[in-house]
Structure 1
């Protein structure tokens, strides 16, 4: 039985999911506030461009928000985190009584959605897709990543099972009773990804040059997750256990090396945050993603100096007060490890790796390639 979905936010994530659901015979409507995106999809259809250069095109109905008049039932919310509240307020009066909203977003967006539509009509999801909206109506798709769906109360309901079954048209989506564990792990990695976006280098290069920074940022986020009672989950090649306070240094080094090796197999080498800063020249969703993390940290008496520094540098890049440079991740690493390392949650990340944290990824640092 085919479903009916309204995808609010037809960019990289929403457009990719909409494309595959429509291709499997589901009724799909894309709603996007970007008039150019809506016009392109209407005129030429939605195009998915593969890493090998091949393209597929599909006609999918698309509208701007003011063109939508009918009730919404099953909504897939795929806007940036900083647009969540506005989108949720728009959805709320239009959402059918038996409808629900799935958060296909980065960050902890579910509370904002639930505040607008009710917790009963809010479904949690973790998404790690390798896609970019490269021009109106065209998405560069790097292939399936990870997608996990579950209820806010940690159950797997019939509607979650139905949605996950429909998502098989896209890829290996699964249901879980611990979506929060995946979301917090994405936040741990996302802090590293945001740090990498302060330079023009691929994410893997930043991690290899600054493993101490990587470990410190991940541990800061995971410390807040632990205070919230969340058990982190691993995803793709990211190993949550490698960033535990008592993780053996060899495990942490091996996990970082494995993750970087995996990143280098992906066609998307830089983040959407980098694209917002370097290509689109617009504000990122980083403050909206990590503002809740910092507020929760404060509630639990924790400090996140690394995350705070990342937000500061991203803000300076957004406003043009700072250029994109390799000096920026180095500055972030000093902010976390250069002072009293014991103040960072999880202890001394550099010491946890053993020896010089700048040398954990290679036997000879001079072999590090320039990019």
Structure 2
């Protein structure tokens, strides 16, 4: 089968969606885009999708079909699958609304930060859903212009773990974007990414700092490890086996009863990570700076709810959630002192 005969719908042409669309269109895939934003639609229709590459080079592709909303599509249009790349708060309704535009064998693919799959399968059959983890960074630097900001790969998996034919085909298609891993435990991959996102995205959002800046002292690194541990504890309570994305996810897990040597090792691992990703800024911070809501409810909020289901407490995630909400509502400023405040309250 020629996979380039597949009809692909991409919804949400922000950083991740823009990079995926750019690279699939460049090699000849039939992609229809739903931007969710009239200005982005207009810009792409007039100037194409511009991807910024290394050495100040650019790649420009001109998609034939670019719309702002699903409702603009002809009702006879059908697709083999839809990549859902919008923010987490919009994905459930998007999945539900997309089903009528799919062939009977069609399915949606979730690309969100956080874990949204349980919410989606309340609205659509779980056989019409594949989960994906975007283990790389990307941003829209101007309307219709995109750049990959960090190296990485893509993980995809069926909810029940089977290595199906459709999963293999999807992997071959997405390999045009970045290397792809087929997972038999996609929930473990999702929880691994959640552990990093709930920690790093939230700390970056409240402080305005890069990885390197927000982890430049031992108390800050200890805070990071404690937040991360709450996520891992929630995953353990849910009987989730965490899967490796780049490194063993337990390298940064600090047990409550950890001794001096274990704490020393974890601090060293985190210092190495901070050095490697020192210039990376939180996408949640970028949302706040643009005056937009973050995905905090699907990150730290999810950790809190899952912890409480099993009688666990998550005080670090709770205070992060509260601080981000205060920033969203204009009641708190983005400031490195916010991290110091948490350290004084909960770490010291």
Q: TM-score, normalising length from structure 2?
A: 0.91
Aligned residue for 2:15? 12
- Verify the 8 A CA contact 1:196 1:329 in the aligned structure 2: no
Aligned residue for 2:207? 199
1:67 to 45, 69, 72: 72
- The yes-or-no answer on 1:106 pairing with 2:113 is yes
State the alpha-carbon separation in 2 of the partners of residues 11 and 181 from structure 1: 26
SS in 1 for 2:209: coil
- Verify the 8 A CA contact 1:13 1:78 in the aligned structure 2: yes
1:4 CA drift (Å): 2.4
1:51 CA drift (Å): 5.0
State the alpha-carbon separation in 1 of the partners of residues 321 and 305 from structure 2: 13
- Aligned pair count reads 334
Aligned residue for 2:52? 49
- The yes-or-no answer on 1:312 pairing with 2:319 is no
- Verify the 8 A CA contact 2:34 2:66 in the aligned structure 1: yes
- Verify the 8 A CA contact 2:35 2:67 in the aligned structure 1: yes
Aligned residue for 1:288? 298
1:227 to 219, 237, 241: 237
State the alpha-carbon separation in 1 of the partners of residues 127 and 68 from structure 2: 27
1:197 CA drift (Å): 1.5
| Residue deviations 1:13-58 (CA, integer Å, cap 9, x gap) | 1111111111222111111221111111111101111353221111
- Verify the 8 A CA contact 1:144 1:172 in the aligned structure 2: no
State the alpha-carbon separation in 1 of the partners of residues 148 and 211 from structure 2: 18
State the alpha-carbon separation in 2 of the partners of residues 101 and 81 from structure 1: 14
State the alpha-carbon separation in 2 of the partners of residues 24 and 121 from structure 1: 26
1:332 CA drift (Å): 2.3
Aligned residue for 2:288? 277
State the alpha-carbon separation in 1 of the partners of residues 248 and 38 from structure 2: 37
State the alpha-carbon separation in 1 of the partners of residues 216 and 162 from structure 2: 38
Aligned residue for 2:265? 251
- Verify the 8 A CA contact 2:135 2:155 in the aligned structure 1: no
1:122 CA drift (Å): 0.6
SS in 2 for 1:117: coil
State the alpha-carbon separation in 1 of the partners of residues 280 and 97 from structure 2: 34
Aligned residue for 2:93? 86
State the alpha-carbon separation in 2 of the partners of residues 284 and 292 from structure 1: 13
- The yes-or-no answer on 1:160 pairing with 2:174 is no
1:158 CA drift (Å): 1.2
| Residue deviations 1:287-308 (CA, integer Å, cap 9, x gap) | 1333332222111111111111
Aligned residue for 2:344? 334
State the alpha-carbon separation in 2 of the partners of residues 5 and 335 from structure 1: 49
Aligned residue for 1:261? 275
SS in 1 for 2:338: helix
Deviates more, 1:197-206 or 1:296-305: 197-206
1:244 CA drift (Å): 4.8
1:114 CA drift (Å): 2.0
- The yes-or-no answer on 1:29 pairing with 2:32 is yes
- Verify the 8 A CA contact 1:161 1:175 in the aligned structure 2: yes
SS in 1 for 2:216: helix
The alpha-carbon distance between structure 1 residues 76 and 335, as it changes in their structure 2 partners (threshold 3 A), is farther
2:187 to 155, 162, 180: 180
- Verify the 8 A CA contact 2:228 2:252 in the aligned structure 1: no
The alpha-carbon distance between structure 1 residues 230 and 244, as it changes in their structure 2 partners (threshold 3 A), is farther
State the alpha-carbon separation in 2 of the partners of residues 4 and 182 from structure 1: 27
Q: TM-score, normalising length from structure 1?
A: 0.85
